[in-house]
Amino acid sequence: MAEKIVRVAAVHAAAPFLDLAAGVERTCEFIREAGRTGARLVVFPETFLPGYPHWIWSHTTKYAAPLFAELFANSIELPSRESAAIGAAARDAGVWVVLGVDEREGGTLYNTQAYFGPDGRLVARHRKLHPTNVERTVWGRGDGQDVFVVDTGFARLGGLICFEHSMDLPRYALATLGEQIHVAAWPAINATHADPNAGDFDHYSTTLAQAHAICAQTYVIVSQGMVTQEIIDRLDVAPGPDAPTLGGGLTGFVGPNGQWLAEPHRDTERVVTADLDLGVIPFAKYFADGAGHYARPDVFSFGIDRTPQTPLSRPVGPVEPIESAEAGADGTGIVLSVH
């Protein structure tokens, strides 16, 4: 019989800012700490490693360029030596890990959730389907390959990043795939403005988490980052409404009834844990199974196109030299062409 009570952990913290090597070390420390609590799963905030590009909300593109260059240089590749170290920590701790990273592939960065199994393998990655607003100056888009759930053996696990939670179709897709535990990763966006009304951003993360829990009949783990003094110093924003403040973020656990299991943790670094009773999910679905008896597939149709989106849409053969039409009599003047 499958387990019903599962302990999970969520990290409320910030890694060393724009420092991949130090960030990997800190990530592994948090993974091992979570393992010592008996957690089967530990989740991290959006782009925990090597940090969220807060400057996009306060700097012009011109003045943000040096920070972007540093972010690019310190972003992680998947797989890589750094991801192998994180996988080793997951194996040592015996936990599943969902880690928010800035992922580098070629010349593009992606806002990614990386999934590691307790055997140390990099199992899957979810790239944010559509970066929000000025985030598009930093990250590329994901595609249909990024819509999935992972069978951990104790639950079906999925996740989305930040304002993806406002996109109804990705959330519904995860529900139809049988999601039981959902990772909702966010940055400490409520600390990026000194405006006292900035805390209203909490309304988005909490409302969307509670709505998804109710609509998908799933547990939701909310993991938000925080702003450290190091981040404030590096951003160097003049005092005023755009200046970030220390702390921020909220982290906690929402049940399938849309209620917080405990008051969310805020502002200070901590690994928080909860015991999730998966046995209550069938009772939530008994009331209204949005991907089952409470759906209307005769009225609404829905699908996921998992075709990779790539500029190179057709396979190509080898590059072969051909003689240029302007070649001299001696055969010089060679150009290359792709056939």
Write phi, then psi, for 198 (nearest 5 degrees): -65, -25
Structure tokens at 254: 């929402």
Name the residue among 223, 285, 221, 291 with its Cα closest to residue 255. Answer: 221
Whole-angstrom distance, CA of residue 74 vs CA of residue 255: 36
Give the active site residue among 46, 103, 135, 179. Answer: 46
Whole-angstrom distance, CA of residue 261 vs CA of residue 145: 32
Name the 3-class secondary structure at 74. helix
State yes or no: is 164 an active-site residue: no
Q: In the 8-state DSSP scheme, what is residue 257?
A: T
Whole-angstrom distance, CA of residue 119 vs CA of residue 316: 37
Write phi, then psi, for 298 (nearest 5 degrees): -75, -15
Q: In the 8-state DSSP scheme, what is residue 239?
A: S
E strand or H helix that includes residue 150 = strand 150-151
Active site residues: 46
